[in-house]
Amino acid sequence: MASYTHSKDRDAEPKVEGEQRGIKSTVLETGAAMTQDFAPLQNACAHLNAFHVYASDHKRFVEANHYCGHLTEDVRQCLLYDSPSRGARLIGVEYMIKPHLYESLPQHERRLWHSHVFEIKSGMLVMPQPSALVPQALWDKAETAEMEEVVQLYGKVYHLWQVDRGDKLPLGEPQLMTSVTAADQLPGLEGILDERDKRFSGCDWRRKKEIRKEIKEPQIHPDADYTWKERK
């Protein structure tokens, strides 16, 4: 029997329950794409890649591709996918806010948010280069400018699909996630980043770490990154 699965979904097939998509779905999808504008999705202006750790189990972590857009100068929202491919699974959401908004929150809420300082200064958080044709020096400058903005922000992230368990559907309750704030929190971190870097053109966390030495580190609020502190 011939398969009419749309090419953009082929890489997701082994990971997701259900029959292969047929020609009817493909035709309907194509028609919708030609007539609708998908305005909220077009607001995304940055692709970031990093790793999130489960707040409930620090031994578990997931790579997340963030597609982020600005709602205001002070608030960003990101859709999280398990890969940057067209057949990627939507695994969660993250909100990022500037310090003055974070500080206005009650303590119990502040404890749900994480900082981005270590992610950026270590070279873990990257803005993947869109093409090898883009000059490396130019992209480094653009990425560093973005990191100078993100380093100030606090993020709250929930994952809806526990892909690290091999789930083929988004099962269970949303999971609060957190960022890595020290190298020893994620055993084998260097090897994990090396493996990630191989999949993105021009990505080298060691070089990024060196480039970012001059990025000023903000003072992190004591209520942020609480999931690491409550287990000490």
Question: Is residue 65 located within the same domain as residue 122?
Answer: yes
Question: Is residue 78 located within the same domain as residue 14?
Answer: no
Question: Is residue 27 located within the same domain as residue 87?
Answer: no
Residue-wise pLDDT for 124-182, tens only, equals 999 998 877 788 889 999 999 999 999 999 999 999 999 999 999 999 999 999 999 99
Q: What's the mean pLDDT in 6-25?
A: 57
Instruction: Retrieve residue 71's tokens.
Output: 């709602």
Question: Is residue 207 located within the same domain as residue 176?
Answer: yes
Question: Is residue 182 located within the same domain as residue 122?
Answer: yes
Average pLDDT, the chain: 88
Tell me how far apart the terminal alpha carbons of the chain are, to the nearest angstrom: 57
pLDDT at 204: 95
CA distance 110 to 222: 9
Count of domains in the chain?
A: 2
Residue-wise pLDDT for 58-89, tens only, equals 999 999 999 999 999 999 999 999 999 988 99
Question: Is residue 86 located within the same domain as residue 23?
Answer: no
Single out the residue of 54, 66, 57 nearest to residue 124, CA to CA.
66
Q: What's the mean pLDDT in 106-118?
A: 98
What CA–CA distances, in Å, run from 195 to 172, 206, 226?
29, 13, 29
Q: What's the mean pLDDT in 193-222?
A: 95
Single-letter amino acid code for the residue at 144: T
pLDDT at 20: 67
CA distance 69 to 58: 28
Domain around 9: 1-36
Question: Is residue 100 located within the same domain as residue 1?
Answer: no
Question: Is residue 19 located within the same domain as residue 131?
Answer: no
Question: Is residue 114 located within the same domain as residue 201?
Answer: yes
Question: Is residue 129 located within the same domain as residue 26?
Answer: no
Does residue 6 have a pLDDT over 80? no
Does residue 101 have a pLDDT over 80? yes
Among left, alpha and beta (phi > 0; psi -120 to 50; other), residue 151 is alpha
Question: Is residue 5 located within the same domain as residue 88?
Answer: no
* Predicted model pTM: 0.85
Question: Is residue 56 located within the same domain as residue 93?
Answer: yes
Residue 47 β-bridge partners: 67
